[in-house]
Structure 1
Amino acid sequence: MAIEIVLPSLAAGMEDGVIAQWLKAEGDDVAAGEPVAEVETDKATMEIEAPGSGKLGRILVPAGKRAGVNQLIAVILAEGEENVEMPASSKPAAQADKLSPVAVNVPARSSGPAVPRHSASPLARRLAAEHGLELSGLSGSGPKGRIVRLDVEHALADRSSTRIPPLEEPGKQSVHATAHVPLGIGDYEVLPLSSMRRTIARRLHEAKTTVPHFYLETECEMAPLIALRAQCNEGREASARISINDFVVKAVALALRAVPDMRCIWNEEALLRPHAVDVSVAVATEGGLITPIVRDADRKSLGSLSDEIKSLSARARDGGLKPEEYQGGCFSISNLGMYGVKAFSAIINPPQSGILAVGAVSRRPVERGDTIAFSEAMTCTLSVDHRAVDGAVGAQWLAAFKSGIENPMSLLV
């Protein structure tokens, strides 16, 4: 009996992934638990292990192609087993592209009772209408076969990709290649959307349109922290030096401990307040932004925080984070100061209720009593979900953070 290899859910909320590469070829022997493929999810690249032993009979989703969670992607044949025709119904209907019949010994999966093809959620109907997509050509992955938003999005993505003809020149594309291309832009490159970029786009759109943001800004005087940092780094190797961002993470964590109402998560039924102070730190990678989490950041020394952030950042850029290293967190930090950005506002990372945007340290006039002096200063902007946190709580938290930054010795205690 053939053993099915399906795309598992490798992380919470995962809907699909791209087969990055197959580690075995058709006809190769495989052992149970042996890695057979690498899958690129929205956050990292992970391995799929063989669910049993045998011979890899047929690869149904080649490298570079997208597959949905629980979609059949390959089969393992037992000793002496031969390929037979596979029913087309073994592929989830949510995937718009159709597989040609292939030869594997897999029984047809029951698709449950027949459901009218036009059964769809209101959001799916609206999205389909906006793009001129006929629902009658889709089958749903929702309850009882209902067509949901994800089904429409998959169909639109596949329809869009089929409209793009082969490139006329390497890296160039005719301006009239697809109806979705704005007129008058000239030649252009076609850059396929990765799983990470698709997820970033979806989550940020949802966050900005469904979460009521408000913003609070403060300016921190940095001279004491810069002096303390210089002392901390005396005698340290360059790779082990404490950064200003390390101080920021520590100050954020201690402020979250001091003002617990800031570390809450919005839920339709209640507010959730995690006991642990787990801080997400935004890291820019080639594929997009990812937020690895520093667990119990308030309880760790500055040196331990620095080492952990360096390790998480390196593995994030290599696509080697485990799901538990980027899932969760009660607050996020986005620091663009190293790019010379003086100030900006960041979009909240749901279901968290706050994110701190950190700007560059620069020399500017600051008020000291009745006089004005020049000093190093840093602008920080707090974005808050007003459903979960009121303005007074956000202001209280920002004051606690500012106090920690301007009195950096308190971060070492």
Structure 2
Amino acid sequence: MPIAIKMPALSPTMEEGTLSKWLVKVGDSVASGDIMAEIETDKATMEFEAVDEGIIAHIAVEDGTEGVKVGTVIATLAEEGEDPADIQPASGAAAAAPAPAAEAPAAAPAPAPAAASAPAAAPAQSGDRVIASPLAKRIAEQKGVDLSSITGSGPNGRIVKADVEGAKPGAAAPAVAPAAAAPAPAPAAIAGQDFGIPHEVEKLSGMRKTIARRLTESKQQVPHIYLTVDIQLDKLLKLRSELNAALEPQGVKLSVNDLLIKALAKSLLAVPSCNVQFAGDELIRFARADISVAVSIPGGLITPVITDAGSKAVSAISTEMKDLATRARDGKLAPSEYTGGTASLSNMGMFGIKQFEAIINPPQAMIMAIGAGEKRPYVVDGALDVATVMSATGSFDHRAIDGADGAVLMKAFKELIEAPLGLVA
């Protein structure tokens, strides 16, 4: 019996994705564990593995197709003993291709999506759906061209690049996907402008769209309160040097960030009123501290999680963090490794940033922003001296964490770093 291969949910928040690239073609044999495709989710570009054995009989969704809903049939697999030539596309496969067509005119400024979206779906069900290549759809979107008004010159009337390039913007562009375009009307309105400046237009990746949406929601919906402390680093740097000398035979080299992860986790355990999450009419209190650490990757940002960082040795945190960061940049993280977390840490000190205020990563209730350590005039043992000092700013969700509790956490964080033996006790 043919097997329907469906668009997987590769992260807990994924509702749709982009089928970036097929790594198999019709007629190829696949076995469980073989990499079949690369799929761009709201978090990263990830590899999609086969779970069944068989021969690829049909591919329903082409390379580069965007907005493929989770659960959509993207290919059909013929099982052992079946002739792929006799296999019909699995149920749902035919509906997968037109999904991007509904989004194609998204650049049009017309604001009446609800009425237009209903008839847009009807042709696909009646057999009159627009058939166009992904490239043609992208060009149509950029130019505001109504694909239904174009006669395709490709196989079976398929609309190809050449058909769209010579077309003029049509009047039927209001057939726009409503919800997707609503959060960002301004960019859509200026997309076709003549800026008079040499430029290029780069389409947002799924990850960048998610970052934009989530951080906008955070700033709009979460009442942030910011608390900053200056922290002397000299004792921490000395301890790090001594620990690295001791750990060198094991091939472990601690970074300052590793020690800060540990310090934040221990501070959250010491001040449990900050290790919480706002949930409407409930407050969730966590029994352990899982620290999400911001890692810059091509095209965006991801936050792999150090689970139970408060109880782990700093050497274990260092080893785990290096592995997570490497696999994050390679797009190899499992969803469980970058979701969850009770609080976040973002360090921009390596870029020379003195101080910044980070945006809370929902649904978490706090994030610690770390600036660069630098030589400053500082009072040491009651006398003015020069010390290595960094500024740390905590951003707190004021719905869940009172300012006084946030201040207690910042004090605990500062004390742990300035008396760092507590990090290895």
TM range (shorter): 0.7 to 0.9
> Which of 255, 259, 265 pairs up with 2:271?
259
Gaps of 5+ in 2: 120-136, 145-160, 162-187
Q: Secondary structure at the match of 1:205?
A: helix
Structure 2 CA distance for partners of 1:40 and 1:410, relative to 1, 3 Å: same
More displaced, 21-30 or 387-396? 21-30
Measured after TM superposition, the shift of residue 362 of structure 1 is 0.3
2:358–2:395 contact (8 Å) kept in structure 1: yes
Equivalence map 1:357-396=2 (5 Å): 357-368=369-380, 371-396=383-408
Runs of 4+ in 1 over 6 A off after TM superposition: 85-89, 127-130, 158-161
Structure 2 CA distance for partners of 1:88 and 1:98, relative to 1, 3 Å: farther
Q: Secondary structure at the match of 1:199?
A: helix
- The structure richer in helix per residue is 2
Structure 2 CA distance for partners of 1:161 and 1:379, relative to 1, 3 Å: farther
Output the aligned Cα RMSD: 3.1
1:282–1:334 contact (8 Å) kept in structure 2: yes
Measured after TM superposition, the shift of residue 179 of structure 1 is 4.7
Q: State the match for 1:341 in structure 2.
A: 353
TM-score, structure 2 as length reference: 0.77
1:221–1:375 contact (8 Å) kept in structure 2: yes
Deviation string, structure 1 residues 181-237 (Cα, Å, up to 9, x no partner): 554351212222222111111111111111110100000011111111121222627
Q: State the match for 2:95 in structure 1.
A: 91
> What CA distance in whole angstroms lies between the structure 1 residues aligned with 2:397 and 2:73?
40
2:73–2:93 contact (8 Å) kept in structure 1: no
> What CA distance in whole angstroms lies between the structure 2 residues aligned with 1:386 and 1:94?
45
The code of the aligned residue for 1:23 comes to L
Q: State the match for 2:157 in structure 1.
A: none
1:355 aligns with 2:378: no
Measured after TM superposition, the shift of residue 36 of structure 1 is 2.2
Q: State the match for 2:164 in structure 1.
A: none
Equivalence map 1:125-274=2 (5 Å): 132-139=111-118, 162-164=141-143, 179-234=190-245, 236=248, 240-274=252-286
> What CA distance in whole angstroms lies between the structure 1 residues aligned with 2:33 and 2:259?
43
Q: Secondary structure at the match of 2:269?
A: helix
> What CA distance in whole angstroms lies between the structure 1 residues aligned with 2:9 and 2:300?
21
Gaps of 5+ in 1: 100-126, 141-157, 167-176
Q: State the match for 2:28 in structure 1.
A: 28
The code of the aligned residue for 1:227 comes to K
Q: State the match for 1:70 in structure 2.
A: 71
Structure 2 CA distance for partners of 1:356 and 1:85, relative to 1, 3 Å: closer
1:4–1:72 contact (8 Å) kept in structure 2: yes
Structure 2 CA distance for partners of 1:36 and 1:401, relative to 1, 3 Å: same
TM-score, structure 1 as length reference: 0.79
Measured after TM superposition, the shift of residue 48 of structure 1 is 3.0
Q: Secondary structure at the match of 1:189?
A: coil
Measured after TM superposition, the shift of residue 77 of structure 1 is 3.5
> What CA distance in whole angstroms lies between the structure 1 residues aligned with 2:328 and 2:92?
38
The code of the aligned residue for 2:285 comes to R
1:94–1:139 contact (8 Å) kept in structure 2: no
1:311 aligns with 2:323: yes
Measured after TM superposition, the shift of residue 139 of structure 1 is 4.6
2:102–2:117 contact (8 Å) kept in structure 1: no
> What CA distance in whole angstroms lies between the structure 1 residues aligned with 2:394 and 2:345?
9
The code of the aligned residue for 1:267 comes to A
The code of the aligned residue for 1:233 comes to N
Deviation string, structure 1 residues 344-365 (Cα, Å, up to 9, x no partner): 0000001100000000000011
More displaced, 329-338 or 44-53? 44-53
Aligned residues: 359
